[in-house]
Amino acid sequence: MSFSRKIFILVTIYFLYLLGVYLYINYDKIEVNGVNDVQETEIIETPEVIEPIKYSVELTLVGDFLYEEPYYSALRNGEDSNLYFSRVKKYFSDDDLSIGNMEVVITDGTMDLSGVGYSFCAPTFVGDQVIDLDMEVMSVSNNHSNDRGLAGRVSTYNYFKNNSDILPVGTYDESRDVTKNIIERNNIKFGFLSYTYGTNVAVESNLRYSLGLYRDPDTGVISDEYLNLIKNEVDTLRDKVDVLIVMVHWGDEFTFTPNGEQEFLANYFNELGVDIVVGNHSHCIQPIKWIHGNHDTLVYYSLGNFVSADNVVDRTGETFTNAYQFGLLSKLSVNKIDGVVSIDNIRSIPIVDYYDVNLRNFMLIPIDEYSNDYEVSHYLYNNNFNRSFITDTYESVIDFEFRKSIN
């Protein structure tokens, strides 16, 4: 081989070596299109998808816890106290927040017990029942709140605070600090207020600070003073919470129809920015309504009785004696998506207060579990208290949109 040919081969090998090194170093930056066509690769970035931040809380609402003598009598005669709530506990164990109205005061051991005469004071085991049911919020402002005076209110408040995580709402010390009425669940803050039209036993004028009232006790009317009190307390909580709930003891007893005062207050609460109004006192169910405007307010005019263990209702006739024997349990969802709160998935079910012809076996039974055997053995079956009465009343009083099934 000639010297010149050797030089040519060496130069060619060296050139190929340099080309290989170049291609190796720049491999991730080039794209070959055909022969020797090298270009930079275009890099396309995929935009990041930002998911909305969502929180949700499930609420359970029930009406009056009105413990009366027939139930106490059954317990004294050996009835198992665990029976009463055994069929409804499931509704409270799967929620985040349960709300009711405690319409009896709880003794501190020094007060006369009573489940008759429209003057109620319950033994401490009643408080234990409510605690075991897994309630979180109890209104303690109603017409029976002063049945044992300030001592009864303080005793009830202290029993729940010292023995449970239940928040009692509507009883205050001299500071009347409503900011203590705040609970947070799943990053949603709830504020609570509670008011009653008055009490069966008048509250002394120097102690009116200790109870949530919406009427002036001296005149029996909703005065500007009390409207301003409500406004100030709503305003105090409104910017500290996501959801503001007012529990109110109002209206007439034994009627399915809200009166003018209830409608006035419901609209006033709406104007103030209240989200949910939970009403009681009628001892029967009343409508559920939305009030729309600059703000949306869900109003339960009355959930009726939850606990109502009395076979004799001597202030009314057959219809409302029967209506006294069942109340409404409602569930709803409160959602917060990117800071915006909404309420949806509103459902309800009638709960029957069952006791047999011997005034025994007291038990709260959901209507879908209220069998023929329970129906015909109820103490008031011969008073025309039956499934038809319950379902007809429910469907005539509660609008279809709020009768979605819970189960």
Instruction: Report pLDDT for 14.
Output: 54
pLDDT, average across residues 32-44:
52
pTM for the predicted model, two decimal places: 0.88
Separation between Cα atoms, residue 288 and residue 268, nearest integer Å: 17
Q: What is the pLDDT of residues 297-319, one digit of tens each?
A: 999 999 999 999 788 888 899 99
Instruction: Report pLDDT for 38.
Output: 45
Find the Cα–Cα–Cα–Cα dihedral 392, 398, 402, 404, rounded to 10°.
Answer: -10
250's CB contacts (< 8 A; 6+ apart) are 196, 197, 214, 261, 262, 265, 279, 280, 281
* The amino acid at 215: R
Q: What is the pLDDT of residues 212-233, one digit of tens each?
A: 999 999 999 999 999 999 999 9
pLDDT band at 4 (very low <50, low <70, confident <90, very high): low
The CA–CA distances, whole Å, from 272 to 25, 60, 99, 254, 280 equal 71, 24, 22, 29, 20
pLDDT, average across residues 139-149:
96
**Residue in the block written with tokens 């709960």:** 351
pLDDT, average across residues 254-270:
98
* The amino acid at 143: N
Residue 37 has pLDDT above 50, yes or no: no
pLDDT, average across residues 256-280:
98
Separation between Cα atoms, residue 75 and residue 361, nearest integer Å: 10
Q: What are phi and psi of 252, to 5 degrees?
A: -95, 150
pLDDT, average across residues 162-191:
97
Among residues 402, 186, 144, the alpha carbon closest in space to that of 298 is found at 402
Find the Cα–Cα–Cα–Cα dihedral 216, 218, 224, 230, rounded to 10°.
Answer: -20
Instruction: Report pLDDT for 32.
Output: 42
Residue 247 has pLDDT above 60, yes or no: yes
Separation between Cα atoms, residue 326 and residue 353, nearest integer Å: 6
Residue 211 has pLDDT above 80, yes or no: yes
The CA–CA distances, whole Å, from 235 to 121, 135, 139, 191, 211 equal 34, 26, 20, 11, 18
Higher pLDDT pick, 3 / 182: 182
Coil, strand or helix at 253: coil
pLDDT, average across residues 106-124:
91
Separation between Cα atoms, residue 167 and residue 157, nearest integer Å: 9
pLDDT band at 50 (very low <50, low <70, confident <90, very high): confident
Instruction: Report pLDDT for 403.
Output: 98
The CA–CA distances, whole Å, from 208 to 17, 170, 176 equal 99, 11, 10
